[in-house]
Structure 1
Amino acid sequence: MEILSSAPHTLHLFAEYACAAIEFISIIIILCGVAAAIARGLRLALSRRRAAKNEWLHLRLSLEETLMLGLQFLMAADIIGTISNPDLQGVIVLTVIVLLRVVLSFTLSREVAEMDRREREAEGRAPSDEKHDADEPRSKNTHYPKGR
């Protein structure tokens, strides 16, 4: 009977250690992402050739992805902490982290779509060309007129 009476305390203690470990992992992820972004940015800034706008966009996107991953770990830690010790402050922190993640996800998806559009334009293909390409199967003999 003594084991069952100490179970809630043991579970709470385990949740505290799990939260601390997951928060530590999120800090490491974010720090590594920021360090990699700084190194990559310095390389772009100090390179002899002029960096394309696309390269800076890729840098921002990779940093945002890293931040999202770190926020996911923080959200996991806060969920565990809120479940094991529900209080108003924990719920507020969890809400703020979820909102930040939603905003970052929205921003990231918009920027990825914009980057894809720019890359298509740089290749000389307009979005209307894709629909045309999808309607017609590609073949090796493209020299024949359409009527054949």
Structure 2
Amino acid sequence: MVELEVFEKGLRILAEGTRLSLETLSVLCVLVGLLATLRRTSMMRRQLRHSSDLPFTKIRLGFGAWLSLALEFQLGADIVATTTTPNTVNLIQLGVVALIRTFLNFFLAREMEMEHRMETQARSAQDNTPT
């Protein structure tokens, strides 16, 4: 029995370290995504000095991809927390994060597909323009 208790304690410590690591990665993804988005926005502003129109969709989709990655890590952290201490609060957190992640990924994928389609149409229109 003592061996089992030692194993359970070790498993809890491992799970807690894994959860903390995943949550840290989640926060870092948001931070890196924010910095990358600010950098991209700044670069685009410099490139498009004479235009007030920034390609908002590309900037937003780029940041959304970072948020999606952060949610993946957060979901992993919640799964680890739920498996070691399955209580109502952990299960609700897991469900909420999974739901948000699912919706975000669905709409991101849809918008990225639409953006790709629009770029393809714009390229084919440029290729068909008489010179």
Which structure 2 segments of 5+ residues have no match? 126-131
Task: Report the structure, 1 or 2, having the larger helix content.
Answer: 2
Q: Runs of 4+ in structure 1 displaced over 3 angstroms?
A: none
CA distance in 2, matches of 1:105, 1:51: 29
What is the RMSD of the two structures over their aligned residues, measured on CA atoms? 1.8
CA distance in 2, matches of 1:68, 1:51: 29
The superposition leaves residues 64-121 of structure 1 with CA deviations (integer Å, 9 ceiling, x where unpaired) of 1111111000100110110001011011111111111111111111111211221122
Query: The residue matched to 1:124 in structure 2 has which SS?
Result: helix
CA distance in 2, matches of 1:79, 1:3: 26
Structure label with greater radius of gyration: 1
* Identity across matched positions, percent: 29
| TM-score of the superposed pair, with normalisation by structure 2 | 0.84
Number of residue pairs matched?
124
* 1:69 counterpart letter in structure 2: L
Partner of 1:122: 122
The superposition leaves residues 50-73 of structure 1 with CA deviations (integer Å, 9 ceiling, x where unpaired) of 3765x3322211111111111000
CA distance in 2, matches of 1:46, 1:40: 10
User: Relative to structure 1, is the Cα distance of residues 121 and 5 closer, same or farther in structure 2, using a 3 angstrom cutoff?
Assistant: closer
Which structure 1 segments of 5+ residues have no match? 126-148
Q: After TM superposition, give the deviation of residue 29 of structure 1 in Å.
A: 1.3
Partner of 2:109: 109
* 1:70 counterpart letter in structure 2: A
| TM-score of the superposed pair, with normalisation by structure 1 | 0.75
